[in-house]
A and B are shown apart, each in its own frame.
Chain A
Amino acid sequence: MIRERPLSPVIPGVYASPHALFICGALLFPPFLLQQDVVVRAGLILGFMLLNALSGKRVRFFQFVVVAVGIVMFNLLIPTGKVLATPLGLPLTEGALKSGLMKATAMTGLLALSQFSIRPSLRLPGRFGGLVGRSLFYFEAIMNERSTVDRKDIIGSIDTLLLSVGKATGFPSTNSPPTGSASTAAQGKPGLAGPAVLVLLVAGNWGLFAFTLVHPHPFWGG
C-alpha cells in the first residue's frame, strides 16, 4: 500500500511536500545572503514574512524588529566610517550603520526564510533520517502528554511523563522507525500548483539577485 505523503500549505489552498519546501529554502538561501542591497533585503524579509502568514504560520513581527534594532545598536557602538550624526554626543557612523543593517537583515531574513521552508513534518532520507524520524515520533508523543507536567513537582511529573510515553510508544523499540507522521502536517490535495509556486519564488529571487548584480546597489547598501 502506498502511503499518502503529508503535505504542507504554501499559500491558502496550495500545498507542497515538506521536501519541496526544504529544497526551495535551500535554493532561496544563497540569493538572499549574497544580496548586498539593504532595501532589497528588507523587502525580501517582508516577503518571507508574508509567505509565513499565508502558509498559516504565526509571524512574530515585533520580535523580529526588536532583534534587528538590537543588532544595529550593538554594531553602532564601534564607530567606523563617515560620521552621519551625533545624537546624545555619540557618533552615528555610516560604516557601522551599514554593517549593523546587513547583519540584522541577515539574521532576521534567514530566520523568516527558514521558518517558511522547514516544516516539522520534514523527514530526512536514509538510516540517520530514520533516527531523526523516530526522535520526532517520540517528540509528538511527549507533546501529546505535556499537560501532565506539574510545576509543583517538575521532576516527578517529567518522570511520569517519560514512563507513560515509553508505555504508549513501546520504548525501547528495535523496529524500524516510522518514516513520517500525518499529525503535524496537513493532508492537502497534491498537485502541481504548490511546486509551481515554489519554482516561481526561486526564479523570482534569483532574477532579482541577477538584476542587482548588473545594477549594483540600486537603492542603498554594501
Chain B
Amino acid sequence: MARTLTSSPTSSARRLDLVALLGAVCMFLSAIEYMIPKPIPFLRVGIANLPILISLDLLPVPLLLLLVVLKVLGQGIVGGSLFSYVFLFSAAGSFSSALAMLFVRRIFGGRITLVGVGVIGALCGNAAQILLARVLIFGEGAWLIAPPFLALGTITAVLLGIFAERFAKRSRWLAGIRGSL
C-alpha cells in the first residue's frame, strides 16, 4: 500500500527538504555512474533512478515529479551538461521512466514488485531516449542500437529493482524518514 506524507506547514517544508536530499542522492549515484566507461554519453546504467524508485511509495505525485526535475537539473549542473544533448536525453529518459513507474505503481500497488516497476520504467525511459537519438543523432541507424540498449536497460533495471527492494527493507534511514514525516 502506497504511503504518502501528510500535509502541514512543517511537514511541507520537511518534505521539500527530503526531496532536496533525495535529489542529492540521485546526483551522487549519477557521479558514480559517470565513472563507468560507456561508448555514448547518454547510455546510462540507471542507478541514479534508485531514489525515484524508492520514493514512489513515499512522496505524492507533484513532489515525485519535482524530484525528477531536481535529478535532471542537478546532473546537468554537476556534470556540466546543461546546454548539451546529454541534458535532453537525461530529461526525456528520466521523465518518461518516472511517469511509467508511477503509473504502474498506482495501478497495481503492492501486486507489482519494485523489480517489475523498474523494468517498465527502464523500457519506457530507454524507448524515449532511442526516439530522441533517432531525431538528434543517429538517424535511422538508431534502430540498430535499440535491441542491445533495451536489453541492457532491462538487465540493469532488474538488478536495480532487487537492490531497491532490499534497500527499502533493510534501510534504517528510510525507516526513520517514514516514521518522522
Q: Measuring CB to CB, which residues of chain A are less than 8 angstroms from any residue of chain B?
A: 25-26, 29, 57, 66-67, 70-71, 74-75, 77-78, 99, 103, 106-107, 110-111, 113-120, 122, 131-132, 134-139, 141-143, 146, 154-156, 158-159, 162-163, 165-166, 171-174, 177
Contacts and interface: CB of A to CB of B under 8 A. Distances in A.
B145 A74 contact: yes
A29 B85 CA distance: 12
A74 B31 CA distance: 28
A142 B16 CA distance: 18
B173 to A, nearest CB: 4
B78 A111 contact: no
Report, nearest first, the 5 A-B pairs whose CB atoms are least far apart: A138-B24, A74-B141, A114-B83, A174-B13, A135-B23
Interface string B67-84: 000100110111011111
Contact of B74 (A70, A132, A172, A174): A132
B25 A107 contact: no
Among the interface residues A77, A120, A162, A173, which one has the most CB atoms of the partner chain B within 10 A? A162
A67 B40 contact: yes
Contacts of A122: 77
B28 A118 contact: no
15 contacts: A25-B82, A71-B138, A74-B145, A107-B85, A114-B81, A115-B80, A116-B80, A120-B80, A139-B23, A155-B163, A155-B167, A165-B21, A166-B21, A172-B180, A172-B181
Contacts of B123: none
A24 to B, nearest CB: 10
Among the interface residues A111, A137, A154, which one has the most CB atoms of the partner chain B within 10 A? A111
Q: By DSSP majority rule, is chain A's interface helix, strand, loop, or mixed?
A: helix
Contact of A111 (B27, B41, B142, B180): B41
Given A139-B27, A162-B25, A77 B141 contact: yes
Contacts of A154: 163
B80 A114 contact: yes
Interface of B: 10, 13-14, 16-21, 23-25, 27-28, 31, 39-41, 66, 70, 73-74, 76-78, 80-87, 136-142, 144-145, 163, 166-167, 170-174, 176, 180-181
Contacts of A171: 17, 21
Nearest to A33: B83
B10 A74 contact: no
B28 A142 contact: yes
A69 to B, nearest CB: 10
B170 A155 contact: yes
Given A120-B77, A143-B28, A172-B181, A177 B20 contact: yes
A26 B144 CA distance: 34
B81 A118 contact: yes
B139 to A, nearest CB: 5
A149 to B, nearest CB: 8
B172 A131 contact: no
A106 B135 CA distance: 13
Contact of B85 (A75, A77, A106, A136): A106
Given A119-B80, A131-B16, A162 B166 contact: no
B86 A111 contact: yes
Contacts of B70: 131-132, 135
Contacts of B176: 163, 166
A185 to B, nearest CB: 12
A78 B74 CA distance: 36
A111 B77 CA distance: 12
A103 B136 contact: yes
A163 B31 CA distance: 20
A99 B139 contact: yes
